[in-house]
Amino acid sequence: MELKKYIREIQNFPKEGIGFKDISPLLADGEVFNQVINIVGADARGFLFGAPVAALLKKPFIMVRKPGKLPSEVIKREYALEYGTNELQMHKDAIKPGQTVAIVDDLLATGGTTKAIIELVEELGGEVKKLVFLINLLFVKHEPSLSKYETVSLIKYD
């Protein structure tokens, strides 16, 4: 869903030269304002944080699993570890094109796992809106492609 079409621009408000972005139409449309955002969490500690967040928000929770754990058709993404490679899988029908997601996990270090999850979501036509972590290791160089996503972390280590 393209939310920008629900935001109008008012020229020269609150003063000359400003193009004010008015969100009143968005807030007034209950269906649009309450659009579904899926919560995605990766095996295994992403489940510990993602599932409760989804339950509290009354939103769907989508599992990303290690190989051989999902019973239906899957898409796969290999990613690098400090000591080799691993693979994540998601059901082919987990996300519909245009659906938005927030990825919730315990830790952001290099970002390799998160990048793989983003690629799975985008392969299915989903749109990642937010990355949410309990811990962010700021002293570790993150995957550069993550910088374009809004990222929230509760605990940061410099």
Element of type H or E holding 47: helix 45-57
Please give the pLDDT value at position 28: 64
Please give the pLDDT value at position 132: 94
Beta bridge partners of 89: 65, 76
Whether residue 45 lies in the annotated active site: yes
Please give the pLDDT value at position 56: 86
Whether residue 82 lies in the annotated active site: yes
Beta bridge partners of 156: 136
Q: Where are the domains of the chain?
A: 1-29, 36-157
Please give the pLDDT value at position 83: 77
Helices and strands in the chain: count of H runs, count of E runs:
4, 9
Q: What is the torsional sign of CA 18, 16, 14, 8?
A: negative
Please give the pLDDT value at position 29: 64
Q: In the CATH scheme, what is the code of domain 36-157?
A: 3.40.50.2020
Q: Given the residues 9, 45, 78, 122, select the one marked as catalytic.
A: 45
| pLDDT, mean of each 10-residue run, the chain (158 residues) | 74 82 67 70 91 88 94 94 88 94 94 97 96 94 93 92
Please give the pLDDT value at position 34: 56
Q: Given the residues 16, 31, 73, 82, select the one marked as catalytic.
A: 82
